[in-house]
Amino acid sequence: MKRKITLKQIAKELDVSVSTVSKSLKDSKEISKDTKEKVKAFAKLYNYKPNNIALSLKNRKTKTIGIIIPEIVHHFFTTVIRGIEKIAGDRGYNVIICLSNNSFDKEVLNLEFLANGSTDGFIMSVAKETQQKEDYHHIQEVISQGMPVVMFDRVIDEVICDKVIISDKHGAFEAVQYLIDHHCKKIAIISTVDYVSVGKLRTSGYKEALIANDFEIDEDLILKIEDVDHSEEKIEEFLKEKKIDGLFAVNEQFAVNAIKALTKLKKRVPEDVSVIGFTDGVVSKSFIPSLSTVNQHGEDMGAKAANLLIDRLENETEEQSFQTTVLDTSLIIRDSVRK
């Protein structure tokens, strides 16, 4: 008997990406005829069985929700999960949580695993690599076969489904406006690369606040980081030559690393430089000085996403238009800023 094989193993054996295998098996026009034939032949030889999502939907309900998140290190995602689990439990559903580690291939595999009859629908925040590749075929495939998806935080405009987001741009605007109102004249930002949607929106909010107050936008005061895990060195290098009195960071990790770097450079927070971050995590509260931050209200976001998904699952016969819910942020002022 031939061994069963997975999507990932086929990709490895044929030295192609998981996405190429997935698209080949679905006869996508994006893939060459030769590649499709090679993949299909290999899959048949090793008894690969694609998931039949539609069949599993017709035959049974699992009362289980699949959650796919890009990372677990950020406090924000743990609060979202808490919100989802509370609503799911109250309404008689279980949850399965998968981690993409910001990998496109891992996200594809997670969806494949969860769509094999284990779950009734998904709540997901897309991987950084998925946004970079702009390849959403795996999500579109799930939706086209009748499985509901709710996106939160990092969402894709091109995918038509329910979404729950915060006003990233407005949250950033308020943070920078606070710095300006408290006499900061040279305000830097530490952000992500632009293909990460939330980083781009928060950078836009920073710029809009500067323009609204007749400040010049100085590109030398904007740092965009791709490799988040090695941000400390880049932040320290960036701040070495900068004469700033205010700093806005688009996440908690960047803000904390910035304060560490400023301390190394013999600059005092907040006396010399006021710092505001994004995401009100445990670190923000316990760090010295405690970090002023924009609260994303992750638990509320998770609760709203869970209710949207379960409502859709339990009202399948009713025509429902898709909705995008925008939650408000709030600015929490602590010891890292001048008051």
Q: Where are the domains of the chain?
A: 7-50, 61-166+298-327, 168-296
CA distance 19 to 196: 20
Produce one character per residue of 127-165: b if its CB has 16 or more CB atoms within 10 Å, e if not.
bbbbbeeebbebbbbbbeeebbbbbbbbbbeeeebbbbb
Q: How far from the centroid of its chain's Cα atoms is residue 111's Cα?
A: 16
Look-up of token digits 């915060």? 166
Contact in structure between 191 and 202 (CB atoms under 8 Å): yes
Contact in structure between 125 and 68 (CB atoms under 8 Å): yes
Q: Provide the pLDDT confidence category of residue 2 given band limits of 50, 70 and 90.
A: very low
Q: Read off the tokens for 127.
A: 């991987």
Contact in structure between 100 and 107 (CB atoms under 8 Å): yes
Q: What is residue 50's predicted lDDT score, i.e. its pLDDT?
A: 64
Q: Which residues contact 327 (CB under 8 A, 6 or more apart)?
A: 164, 165, 166, 167, 296, 297, 300, 301, 304
Residue 34 vs residue 56, higher pLDDT: 34
Class for the domain spanning 61-166+298-327: alpha beta
Residue 11 vs residue 257, higher pLDDT: 257
Q: Which residues contact 41 (CB under 8 A, 6 or more apart)?
A: none
Burial environment of residue 236 by CB neighbours within 10 A (0 to 12, 13 to 18, 19 or more)? middle
Q: What is residue 184's predicted lDDT score, i.e. its pLDDT?
A: 98
Q: Read off the tokens for 190.
A: 């530490």
Q: In a 3-state reduction of DSSP, which class is residue 61?
A: coil
Q: Which of 76-80, 224-228, 252-256 has the lowest mean pLDDT?
A: 224-228
| pLDDT tens, position by position, 295-335 | 999 999 999 999 999 999 998 656 678 999 999 999 999 99
CA distances from 64 to 112, 127, 163 (A): 15, 22, 19
Tell me if domain 61-166+298-327 and domain 168-296 are identical in fold. yes
Contact in structure between 282 and 252 (CB atoms under 8 Å): no
Q: What is residue 54's predicted lDDT score, i.e. its pLDDT?
A: 46
Contact in structure between 142 and 122 (CB atoms under 8 Å): yes
Sheet with 324-327, side-by-side order of all strands: 94-99, 64-69, 121-124, 149-152, 162-166, 324-327
Q: What is residue 173's predicted lDDT score, i.e. its pLDDT?
A: 98
Q: Provide the pLDDT confidence category of residue 117 given band limits of 50, 70 and 90.
A: confident
CA distance 61 to 314: 11
Residue 227 vs residue 264, higher pLDDT: 264
What fold, for 168-296? Rossmann fold (3.40.50)
| % of residues, the chain, pLDDT over 70 | 94
DSSP one-letter code for 74:
S
Q: Which of 25-29, 86-90, 171-175 has the lowest mean pLDDT?
A: 25-29
Q: Read off the tokens for 79.
A: 């609060």
